[in-house]
Structure 1
Amino acid sequence: MELRQLQYFVAVAEELNFSRAAERLCISQPPLSIQIQKLENELGIPLFYRNNRQVELTDAGKLFSEEVQKIFSHLQRAVENAQRTHHGELGKLNVGFVGSATYDILPSVLREFRSLYPDVQVHLFEMSTPVQIEALREEEIDIGILRPPVNSDALCTEIVSTMPCVLAVPKQHPLVEKKNLTLSDLSQYPFVMLSRKTWAGLYNEILALCNPIIHQEALEFQTVIGLVAAGLGISIVPQSAINLHTQDVVYLDFNNQLPTASMGISWRQNNQSPLVKAFIKIVKEAREGNLNRTRGQAI
C-alpha cells in the first residue's frame, strides 16, 4: 500500500466521482481507477459501489475513509512539528545551572526564552560547575550556566557577566564599624567558604589573597550566607548575593581588593541545535543589556 493510493482514495471518497477526483489530482481517470482497484485488491474488500450513475462508499469504505483521514491529519502534524523543531520553535532543552545563577542572569533569560519559545520544554538542573562540565560531555544537558574557567576542548564557553566580590559579615560583627578596611584585617576571623568542589577558581583565589581561617564550608552561596547570618564566620561572595539575608548580614566593599566573579555559558562545539543557538543569543543580549527592551522593564 502506497501513500499515493491513499491520496487517490481520499479524493474519490470526497468527490464520489472519478472524473472530478482525477481532475483534482491532475491525472487522467484510467490510472486513478487502476490504483483504486489495486487498493481494493490489496485490502480484499470493495471500498466503493459503482454504477453508471453514481459512486458510493461501502460501509467498509466509510470506516476506511475516516481512518485514512486521521492518518493524513497525523502526518500533517508530524510535518509541521518537524519543521518547527528545525526552526527551533518546538522541542526540549536541558539547562544546567549553578545555584547563584538564579540571582544573576538566569531569571531574565528564562523569562525571555519562554516568551519567545512557549512550546519548547525547558528542563532545569541545578549542578556545580564540575558536574555541569561532565554532564555536557555526556550529552545529559545542552547548555551549562556555570563558573569559569572551563578546561575542555569539546566545549565552547563565553563569559556572560563579571562582577566584584564583597565581604559578607554578621550584622553585629566588629568589621562593620571599622574604617579603611584592609585584607590584613580579615586574618583573625573565621571564614565560611564556598566549597572548592563547587567553585575551585574562587576558592583558590581567596586562599591566595588572605590565607583565611576556614571554619566551615558549604556547597551553595545561599548556605554560605545563611551560615554567615548565623554568626559562624565571614565570607567573600559575589556582589549578586547582596540581597540575601539583608536583615542579618552586612556586605562590605573592599574597593576592588577582592576577586571578581564571572558567570559563563558553555555548550558542546558540535551541538548545532537551533534551540541551543536561540538560548545563547538571548544570553548574549542579556549580557549586552539589550534583552527585549520593547517588552518593558520587567525583563
Structure 2
Amino acid sequence: MNLRQLEYFIAISETMNFTKAANNLFISQTALTKQIKSLEKELDTLLFNRDSKQISLTDSGKYFLIEAKKIINQVNLSKNNFISYQQGITGNLKIGFLKNLDPNLLVKIISKLNKKYPLLTIELNSYSNHELYQQLESATIDLALTMSNHDPRYQQILINKYPLVVLVNKKSELAKKDKLHQSELNNILFDVRKIDNQNKFPEFEGNLLKIACNQGCAILHAFVKDNCYNQYIKAIPLEPVIEEGIYLVYDKNNHNPAINNFVSLIKNKLLNV
C-alpha cells in the first residue's frame, strides 16, 4: 500500500467512475484498475461493487475511504508543518539576553517577532555576558542579545548603542558631579563587566548592592540606572560620551531556520529599535 494507491482510491470514490477518475489523474484506466486491484489484494477485500452499469463502495470500501482520507490529510498536514518549520514560521527559538538588558529593547524585539511569527515558540532566559557565550557554544540557546566579545566564530549584528554612565552612591563625593571624565575615576572605580579570577562575570545585583552600600562605583549602560537601588545610586554621564553596543549574536553553524527570520527582522530594520 502506498499514498498513490490511496489517492487513486479516493479519486474513484469521488466520481464512482474509473474512466473519469483516470482522466482526472492523467493515467490510463488500465493502470488505475491495476492499482486498485493491487490494493484490494493487499487488504484482502473488495472495495468496490462492480457491475456493467455502475460501481459503488462496499461496506469495507466505505470504512476504508474514511481511513484513507485521514491518512492523506495527515500527510498533507505533516508536509505543511515541515515546510513551515523549514521557513522558520514554526518550531522553537531559544533566546538568551544580557541580565539587566534594556527592557524596552527586549519588549520591542519579542513583540515584533511574536506578531510576525505567531506560531513560533520563543524561550527566553537571562545570563551574564560570559554565560551567554557559553550557552551559544553549547547550543543551549540559538541567539544572544548581549555585548560583543569579537569572537570570529559568531555572527554579530549591532542592534542599538547606549551611552555608558558611572553608577555611584548618592552620598559619595563623586555624586556631587553632573559629569565625570574618565581620568577622574582613578583607582576607585570597579567595573562590573570585568572578568574575575574564575573567568566569570561578577554577579550584577551584588555589585549594585555594593554601590548602594557606598563600596565603589561602576561603568554600565545608561539603561541600568533604573533599578531597585535608585534611592541610593546616582547615574553620572561620562565625558566625553562613550557608547557601547548591544548585539544580536549567533553561531553561524546553528541551522535553526527561525534564526534567519530573526536576523532578517534586524537587518531590514523592521524592529525600529
After TM superposition, the score normalised by the length of structure 2 is 0.83
1:192–1:181 distance in 2 versus 1, CA, 3 Å: closer
Aligned counterpart, 1:18: 18
Amino acid of the structure 2 residue aligned with 1:275: A
Aligned counterpart, 1:211: none
Aligned counterpart, 1:267: 250
Distance 1:188 1:53 in 2: 102
Distance 1:103 1:23 in 2: 62
RMSD between aligned alpha carbons? 3.0
Distance 2:178 2:224 in 1: 23
Cα displacement (A) at 1:192: 7.5
Cα displacement (A) at 1:73: 0.7
Tell me which of 247, 254, 258 is aligned to 2:238: 254
Amino acid of the structure 1 residue aligned with 2:121: Q
Instruction: Return 5+ residue gaps in structure 1 as ranges.
Output: 204-216, 293-298
Answer yes or no: is the 8 Å Cα contact 1:47–1:60 preserved in 2.
yes
Determine if the alignment matches structure 1 residue 86 to structure 2 residue 92. no
Cα displacement (A) at 1:181: 4.7
Distance 1:192 1:154 in 2: 26
1:138–1:178 distance in 2 versus 1, CA, 3 Å: closer
1:238–1:24 distance in 2 versus 1, CA, 3 Å: same
Answer yes or no: is the 8 Å Cα contact 1:194–1:224 preserved in 2.
no
Aligned counterpart, 1:291: 271
Cα displacement (A) at 1:116: 0.9
The CA deviation string for residues 168-198 of structure 1, in whole angstroms up to 9 with x for no partner, is 123343332247755565458685735626x
Aligned counterpart, 1:45: 45
Amino acid of the structure 1 residue aligned with 2:136: L
Aligned counterpart, 2:217: 234
Distance 2:202 2:35 in 1: 73
Aligned residue for 1:193, secondary structure, equals coil
Aligned residue for 2:264, secondary structure, equals helix
The CA deviation string for residues 21-40 of structure 1, in whole angstroms up to 9 with x for no partner, is 22322333232222111110
Aligned residue for 2:101, secondary structure, equals helix
Equivalenced residues, count: 270
Distance 1:178 1:94 in 2: 42
1:180–1:226 distance in 2 versus 1, CA, 3 Å: closer
Aligned residue for 1:89, secondary structure, equals coil
Answer yes or no: is the 8 Å Cα contact 1:192–1:228 preserved in 2.
no
Cα displacement (A) at 1:74: 1.0
Instruction: Return 5+ residue gaps in structure 2 as ranges.
Output: none
Aligned residue for 1:262, secondary structure, equals strand
1:238–1:273 distance in 2 versus 1, CA, 3 Å: same
Amino acid of the structure 1 residue aligned with 2:271: L
Answer yes or no: is the 8 Å Cα contact 2:167–2:217 preserved in 1.
yes
Answer yes or no: is the 8 Å Cα contact 2:156–2:248 preserved in 1.
yes
Aligned counterpart, 2:262: 279
Aligned counterpart, 1:126: 126
Cα displacement (A) at 1:41: 0.5
Aligned counterpart, 1:154: 153
Distance 1:180 1:118 in 2: 45
Aligned residue for 1:253, secondary structure, equals strand
Distance 2:122 2:192 in 1: 32
Matches within 5 A, 1:104-183: 105-151=105-151, 153-178=152-177, 181=180
Percentage of matched positions with identical amino acids = 27
Distance 1:274 1:113 in 2: 14
Cα displacement (A) at 1:226: 4.4
1:164–1:148 distance in 2 versus 1, CA, 3 Å: same
